[in-house]
Amino acid sequence: MSELINFNKLDDHIALLTLNRSDAANAMSKALLDELNKYIVEIEQDSSIRCTIITGDGEKAFCAGADLKERKGMTEDQVIQAVRYIGASVSNVAKMKMPVIAAINGVAFGGGLELALACDIRIAVNTTKLGLTETSLAIIPGAGGTQRLTRLIGLGQAKRLIFTGKPVSTDEAINIGLVEQLTDQENLLNDAIEVANQIAKNGPIALKQAKTAIDKGIQADIETGLSIEHLCYKETIPTDDRLEGLKAFKEKRKPIYKGE
């Protein structure tokens, strides 16, 4: 039986996770989520990995969301637990200490878009569509969509997308801030890896602290956010990497960071 998630390590410092259910639009079955969570733990424990890319197999779908075929025959309580597991898995992606890039190779609907929203940066092929389509099925986004989408694109646009349930083109998605970069199918992975390499060359402790400051600060008032930023900044001061950065700048060479 083939793996439902393919894990590859690129250029020493980049993890690539590929949802490997293209025959089912890379939908989130329980087995796929089990593998995703297993690899999240493995990646987080590998101090050499500084950035993670998540993408989907094939060209049609990044992830079409929950596996509705698997959901057939479930009781109401089982459905609630299944949605809770998707939400917890998506949150595990959001909680990863390193930057995470969603390389959106095809449609991202429902839980698939919620997975992309849990990533820090979204790069999408310019021919696909994205949407939280749950209200068309008489439910609501249940894996963080109502919260993460609102924080990303604002109250009015989030309500428009969720209330209508209508997918948007990538041209509209980049205009409203739903994705950060567009590319074509041929160059998607290379473009994502290029961004990941630009990230991974920087100080790994600084990357973690910057992500913490942004993610925690956005949930607080400005004064609390500034305090969070200061605390995160202080964590970078006693590091060898900071001294290496200064030394490399003085010597006009590229720094060699070790995460120490």
- 18-56: per-residue pLDDT in tens? 999 999 999 999 999 999 999 999 999 999 999 999 999
Active site residues: 66, 111, 114, 134
How many Cβ atoms are within 10 Å of 146's Cβ, its own excluded? 16
Q: What is the mean predicted confidence (pLDDT) over 235-244? A: 93
Output the CA–CA distances (angstroms, integers) from residue 179 to 116, 164, 236, in the order listed: 9, 19, 30
Dump pLDDT digits (tens) for 82-127.
999 999 999 999 999 999 999 999 999 999 999 999 999 999 999 9
Q: What is the mean predicted confidence (pLDDT) over 167-193? A: 97
Contact 243, 260 (CB under 8 A): no
CA dist., res. 93 & res. 250, Å (int): 37
pLDDT of residue 71: 82
Whether the predicted model's global pTM rises above the 0.85 cut: yes
